[in-house]
Amino acid sequence: MEKLGAQFPLISISMLIPTLGSFFVVLLPERFTKGISLISTGITFLISLYSLTLFDFSKGDVVQFYEHYPIIPELGISLSLGLDGLSMLMYLLTTLVSLVAVLWSVRDKQINHRIKEYFLWFLLTESFLIGVFASWDLIVFYVFYELTLVPMLFVIGIWGYKLRLYSAYKFFIYIFISSLFLLLGTVSLAVQHYKLFGRFSFSYFDLMNNDYPLGLGIFLFMLFFIAFAVKTPIVPFHTWLPDAHGEAPTAGSIVLAAILLKMGTYALFRFNIGLFPKVVAFLMPILVLWGIFSIMMASWFTISQKNLKRFVAYSSISHMGFVVTSMFLLNLEGFRASIMEMFAHGLTSASLFMIAGFIYNRLHSFNMDALKGSAKFMPLFAIITVITAYSSMGLPGGSSFWGKFLTVLSAREYTTQLALLVIAGAFFSVIYMLYLMKVLFLDTKEESRLVHFADIRGFKLSAFLLLVIPMFMVGLLPSLFFNIFDMSVKKLLLYVMHKLIGG
């Protein structure tokens, strides 16, 4: 892949600003904390928007803003940062959601102690996440991938709800152990590169040239896949997620659902498909069916939840199923669907968690029975809820529509039966959303108790708006977003096909 060197270390700067902010948070007294956090995340978001203007869309497949600092030359490890179309989108999502999370936390009732630490962890998370999406060196990727665990461990464990310690523990253990497989896989790739070319390299660009016998390829693929399947999560590996998402504070859930899950799918897309094209082609049927299975199972799990947060968490799993399914369909529509769904889900799931958190602030419960009809008395909030729910459901005009639609389209390229299966999955995901809407709007219970709620306003409203507006943009103007990543997706597809035919 080609690289376009950066005139100015834009990505490093945008990684450094939150870190710098976190330093100030530690050093300065507590009353400055929230301001500093808002400013640094805001600046980072603005930088990401600015970088979007600098981004050369006609060369979406080229890695732009490329920076390269060697770490261990002998082993070919270097801090190489850069953005291609796909990373650009994720980078945007990261900065946006981080800003939203901080905005939300400013007025969150749950965050009433150890405020400095809380914002410190969020700022650090943002830095690490940018690192994850921008790094082109597998070891550096791994470093950031692991590092995001630490802040989340603390966020869940300190500011979470009742079962927070158990959940934090479980979250950390699941992800950490699974990512050890990733570490083994990563170094094995470098060793394979050494055996083929006589030098170690962890650079993505070099590793793409590797060639494997099918057996070894499947082995390495599985090492990567286990890690990302747990992170994504795909159904049998998902059990950490409801606990972690359910017990985390609202902002934590936002970051977890909107970005951390995307790390898994992003990495599946980038590494499992990019580095093992032959293996993916070989395993494609299994992986696709697995994805569909994941959608259906997760949907059923979702409907049976009583806890609103766990409900939303399970819905994330089913959405991730779409992402995985469409990704492994290995055609242009599939890839596009997958990435659009990632972005869209980032927006909607964040919004859904905020809704849950908002209601909790009012009612101090996540129990669906207790929430019945609660949206009725807060008109602004109700509107936002409806928009979010429809977006999530995949209604045309909503953000998830393109993901689901294109998935069906790309499945149809193989067989109609497959497309029908996908549609069945989509159908289930509609059911649980409708169920949620029904609970929030149609059911009623002791109305008099609910009337006194104040409607949403101020920081929280702005946080919602930051998510709802892009939702509309995705739904109504999809070409804006397709433009960002289309080139790189096409390039990847070409590469995969080339490998399949040529190799």
Residues at the interface with another protein (CB under 8 A) = 71-75, 139, 142-143, 146-147, 149-150, 153-154, 157-158, 164-165, 168-169, 172-173, 176-177, 180-181, 183-184, 187-188, 190-191, 194, 200, 219
Under 8 Å between Cβ of 135 and 81 = yes
Q: Give the residue from 147, 130, 163, 158 showing the smallest Cα distance to 41.
A: 130
Q: Residue 121 CB, nearest distance to another protein (Å)?
A: 11
| Token pair in block for residue 328 | 């492994």
Q: Residue 236 CB, nearest distance to another protein (Å)?
A: 17
Q: Residue 252 CB, nearest distance to another protein (Å)?
A: 13
Q: Residue 33 CB, nearest distance to another protein (Å)?
A: 16
Q: Residue 296 CB, nearest distance to another protein (Å)?
A: 30
Q: Which is nearer to another protein, 191 or 469 (CB)?
A: 191
Half-sphere exposure of 60 toward its Cβ, with a 13 Å CA cutoff?
21
Q: Which is nearer to another protein, 88 or 153 (CB)?
A: 153
Q: Residue 128 CB, nearest distance to another protein (Å)?
A: 10
| Distance, CA of 285 to CA of 280 (rounded, Å) | 9
Q: Which is nearer to another protein, 72 or 424 (CB)?
A: 72
| Distance, CA of 332 to CA of 273 (rounded, Å) | 13
Q: Give the residue from 10, 248, 246 showing the smallest Cα distance to 122.
A: 248
Give percent helix, percent strand, percent coil of the chain, each to the nearest 5: 80, 5, 15
Taking residue 393's Cβ as centre, other Cβ atoms within 10 Å add up to 22
Q: Which is nearer to another protein, 166 or 300 (CB)?
A: 166
Q: Residue 163 CB, nearest distance to another protein (Å)?
A: 12
| Token pair in block for residue 254 | 């936002």
| Distance, CA of 271 to CA of 253 (rounded, Å) | 26
Q: What is the 3-state secondary structure (H, E, C) of 104-115?
A: HHHCCCCCCCCH
Buried b (16+ CB within 10 A) or exposed e, 82-120: bbbbbbbbbbbbbbbbbbbbbbbbbebebbeeebbbbbb
Q: Residue 279 CB, nearest distance to another protein (Å)?
A: 17
Distance of CA 90 to the CA centre of its chain: 8
DSSP 403-431: HHHHHHHHHHTT-HHHHHHHHHHHHHHHH
Q: Which is nearer to another protein, 172 or 290 (CB)?
A: 172
Computed over its alpha carbons, how large is the radius of gyration of the chain?
22
Q: Which is nearer to another protein, 39 or 71 (CB)?
A: 71
Q: Which is nearer to another protein, 220 or 409 (CB)?
A: 220
Q: Which is nearer to another protein, 143 or 436 (CB)?
A: 143
Q: Which is nearer to another protein, 194 or 405 (CB)?
A: 194
Phi/psi at 200 (5° precision): -75, 145
Q: Residue 307 CB, nearest distance to another protein (Å)?
A: 22
